[in-house]
Amino acid sequence: MDLAVRAFPAFLSGAINTVLYCISSFPLALLLGLLLSVLSNSRFTWLRVPTRTFIEIIRGTPMIAQIFILYYGIGAILGVYGLAGLINSWTAGIASLAINYAAYEAEVFRAGFLSVDKGQTEAAYSLGLTRGQTFFRIVLPQSIPFMIPPFVNDFIYMLKDSAIVSAIAGTELTSVLNFWATRNSSNPLPLYLIAIVLYLLMSLPTSYVARLFERRLRAAL
Amino acid sequence: MSEIYKEQIASDPVPATTRLDRLAARKRIILLILDVLFFIVAFVLVLAFCYYLYSYRQLLVLYLPVFLDGLRVTIWISLVSVVLAIIFGLLGAFARLSRFAVVRWLAMIYVEVVRGTPILVQLLLWYFGFGAVLTQMGIDPYRIVYSLATTLQINSLFQDSNFDAYLFGIIGLSFNYGAYLTEVFRSGIQSVEHGQSEAALSLGMNSRQIMRHIIFPQAIRMVIPPFTNNFITLIQDSALLSIVGLEELEHATFALALPQVNPGNKMFVFIFGALFYLVICYPLSLFAHYCEARIAKAY
């Protein structure tokens, strides 16, 4: 039990790093996902098909493979040009989390834009607004309440997927767990218990708040 | 009166085109030209990618057997895990819908804890946590299974020295996905209208007959799209077993790519490994889209 007490501060700082990873990469994922969804609905084939191909590639490969490509592959290529300082475990982790989740957010955005009544766009065109103006002033603001529950769910998934960043030796909760577990391999279970409790403390209240929010939202609609 | 009108229209020499019609036609032609240009550029890019693969052909010929072996392990582990996950999922779904509150609560705790923690932490727990505890207690699952297989004369299947990683990897994956499939099966069973089971009760069926003949066939078609998505995610999460030391596709990619000195070679090996996953997962996702479309059409 004193192992658990000794380990707890390190695990807590690891959990704070996990939350930092997710808070940094989720807004990036949202912005990139918005861009991808707008491009994938475009009239121009030369914008639509590469974007859809990119989304299918990101969704078809495991995230750990994407992290390795970014950290080791692009890191090595940047090393040739002397830019190796750009890639450390923080930037590679945040970038790969953002790119991976952008592909899923693009689907959420698309469903959100389809949920806005078509009459709104028709009325906007009849009033003389251009396509860009209708999108940013009419469709996007009305679709946001519909898209918030899937976004919160994806944030909870991101809290869990940030554990994969431990594969490139981050300072994440799972990295701390690995570090302590290899040094205490005779008594590993209390460490796993602390890690599981910390992850549950991060994800369960968020999902409870999300369900509350979703119920309020559905009542308001 | 209308015959005179029709005669006038029929005798018009040339139909009148407005300026708007001509602009719209020009815009359509420009879009068509852009599309054709795009398809030409896309074809050239595909050829360039094939040439990129071809330029590394010596490396490819050298490493292909390792990749194929890893692919075999990945497919085998995913199939066994998904079968076990279906069993866990069905057990969990029936437990969630049980009459007894204790069973319901146990299933809910299972689902919430397993869905609330990362799968990597769970895999590490099974292999380094429970595996180390079992080793300390002196129980060696490999020896038990090997001696059991010897009595059944099939011990040539279990020659692997890495049996612990296989065992705990498969258990960890199926335990995790059993929780997700519990929710999928539960929502599929509950999506069948209650009137169906009421009508079946009024016809005199008992609950086991109702489940087998009425609810199960109708729940299956609601369950297939989320189940296929979960299967695709399971195949991708089996890549995490490389951290536990299992010799599957991601482990082969990583072990072959890391010693490469040339960054281009390193990138190529990583991309080639990811290509294998894409080749497995993309047809499955097309199948999932097809199933969703067929189900949407049915209603």
Q: Could you read off the pLDDT of B71-114 as tens digits, one per residue?
A: 999 999 999 999 999 999 999 999 998 889 999 999 999 999 99
For residue B31, is it within any domain? no
For residue B38, is it within any domain? no
pLDDT of B111 reads: 94
Whole-angstrom distance, CA of residue B85 vs CA of residue B180 = 9
- Cβ–Cβ of B113/A163 closer than 8 Å? no
Q: The domain containing residue A184 runs over which residues?
A: 2-220
In this model, does residue B9 exceed pLDDT 70?
no
Rounded to two decimals, what is the model's pTM?
0.86
Q: Where is pLDDT greater, at B6 or A115? A: A115
Question: Which residues of A fall within a CB distance of 8 Å from B243?
Answer: 64, 167
For residue B113, is it within any domain? yes
For residue B9, is it within any domain? no
In this model, does residue B258 exceed pLDDT 80?
yes
Q: Which residue carries 């008594």 as its tokens? A: A187
How would you write A67-94 as a 3-class SS string? Answer: HHHHHHHHHHHHHHCCCHHHCCHHHHHH
Q: Which CATH number belongs to the domain containing residue B118 in this structure?
A: 1.10.3720.10
In this model, does residue B26 exceed pLDDT 90?
no
**The dihedral formed by the CA atoms of A200, A152, A66 and A55, expressed in degrees to the nearest 10:** 150
**If pLDDT is split at 50, 70 and 90, which confidence band does B274 have?**
very high
In this model, does residue B197 exceed pLDDT 90?
no
- Cβ–Cβ of A163/B121 closer than 8 Å? yes
**B124, B137, B250, B268, best to mutate vs chain A, most A CBs in 10 Å:** B124
The domain total for chain B is 1
pLDDT of A83 reads: 81
- Nearest by CB to A65, which of B31, B41, B253? B253
pLDDT of B152 reads: 81
The domain total for chain A is 1
Q: Could you give the ipTM of this predicted complex?
A: 0.88
In this model, does residue B138 exceed pLDDT 60?
yes
Q: Please provide the average confidence, as pLDDT, over all residues in chain B.
A: 88
Please give the residue of chain B at the shortest CA–CA distance from A66. B274
- Nearest by CB to B117, which of A57, A61, A200? A200
For residue B14, is it within any domain? no
For residue B88, is it within any domain? yes
pLDDT of B215 reads: 86
Q: Which CATH number belongs to the domain containing residue A136 in this structure?
A: 1.10.3720.10
Each of the 221 residues of chain A gets a pLDDT tens digit; together they read 788 888 899 999 999 999 999 999 999 999 999 999 999 988 888 889 999 999 999 999 999 999 999 999 898 888 888 887 888 889 999 999 999 999 999 999 998 998 888 898 899 999 988 888 888 899 988 888 888 889 998 999 999 999 999 988 778 999 999 999 888 888 888 899 999 999 999 998 888 888 888 788 777 66
Whole-angstrom distance, CA of residue B91 vs CA of residue B98 = 10
In this model, does residue B214 exceed pLDDT 90?
no
Q: Does B59 touch chain A (CB under 8 A)?
A: no
Contacts of B216 (CB under 8 A, 6+ apart): none
For residue B194, is it within any domain? yes
Contacts of B217 (CB under 8 A, 6+ apart): none
Residue B41 CB coordination number (10 Å): 12
pLDDT of A33 reads: 95
Please give the residue of chain A at the shortest CA–CA distance from B253. A65
- Cβ–Cβ of A56/B120 closer than 8 Å? no
Q: The domain containing residue B163 runs over which residues?
A: 81-243
B234-293 residues touching A, CB cutoff 8 A? 236-237, 239-240, 242-243, 250, 253-254, 257-258, 263-264, 266-267, 270-271, 273-274, 277-278, 281-282, 285
